[in-house]
Amino acid sequence: AMTDKNWVITAGGGPIIATAIHAGHMLRPEVAAITALDEAVRLREEDPFTDQWLSIAETTVAVAVSRFEVDLNRPRDPAVYVEPKDAWGLDLWKERPPQDLIDRSLQTYDAFYRDLAAVCDSVADRYERFVVLDLHSYNHRRRGPDAPVDDPMENPEVNVGTGSVDRALWGDTVDAFSAAVAAHPFDGGHLDVRENVRFRGGHMSRWLNALYRSRGCTLAIEVKKVYMDEWTGQADEAVIVNVGQALAAGVDALLPALET
């Protein structure tokens, strides 16, 4: 495993890579010193516990650094949130972050993308085709802890973002994954799995899909925070495990799809 204080990359067998790039909560001291956000607000916009699903793949990327230090799922220039409009209208900073602090955060960004390409290249060297599962989560009680949940018709439990995927090349693979996740038993029924309803995939999936095209396909998997209380940060361990089992069923369906 390549380790760095900001992320851990574990290299294993198989053509599947799982990433949790927004699971992190860490801020380096110079960033922590001037953030205006309290822990709970940061946690609400991070993707806690998504790293618990990485075990669905043998090659994994677990990011410890918070998106509030540098957002690895945005293009490079806006990867450091500066203005409230960059991050859900939040009042982010006690004082404007100096350019040298921003530059250091962007060095982290560049290092991450170098490491990500290296791990993808190593898998691409061994397998004809590979898939990256880019794991995220999203809020569905935006109006407050006691308000009704956001409309389930517009907020699937699992949103598969394929906005940058070439469906002519990868459609069968994507469909096999989604169908298997949807078929897995969940909480007395099944997960509502739909494509591109809320999210089409962010910068990382666009970058990887452009880079690898016919060789590698990246799916942005957004799981609605049905597995935790997004306002208190409290996890529901049984639901986390169940979601992981459904995602693992998706991986089991991906493997034969990649062979064809």
Kindly report, residue by residue over 184-225, the tens digit of the pLDDT: 999 899 999 999 999 999 999 999 999 999 999 999 999 999
What is the Cα–Cα distance from 241 to 52, expressed in whole angstroms? 8
pLDDT mean over 163-169: 96
Cα separations (Å) of 45 from 12, 89, 116, 173? 30, 12, 23, 30
Tokens coding 188: 């007395």
**Cα–Cα distance for residue pair 28/32, rounded to 1 Å:** 6
Give percent of the chain above pLDDT 70. Answer: 98
What's the pTM value of the predicted model, to 2 decimals? 0.96
Question: What's the whole-number average pLDDT of the chain?
Answer: 95
Confidence at residue 212, expressed as pLDDT on a 0 to 100 scale: 97
pLDDT greater than 70 at residue 91: yes
What is the Cα–Cα distance from 187 to 239, expressed in whole angstroms? 8
Closest CA to 224 of 147, 155, 150: 155
Is residue 1 predicted with pLDDT exceeding 60?
no
pLDDT of 156? 97
pLDDT confidence tier of residue 3, bands split at 50, 70 and 90 = low
Question: Which residues, including other chains, have CB under 8 Å from residue 192's CB and lie 6 or more apart?
Answer: 152, 156, 157, 158, 182
Residue percentage of the chain with pLDDT more than 90: 94
The rounded distance, in Å, linking the Cα atoms of 131 and 56 is 12
pLDDT (average), residues 68-96: 96
Task: Give the per-residue pLDDT at 259.
Answer: 84
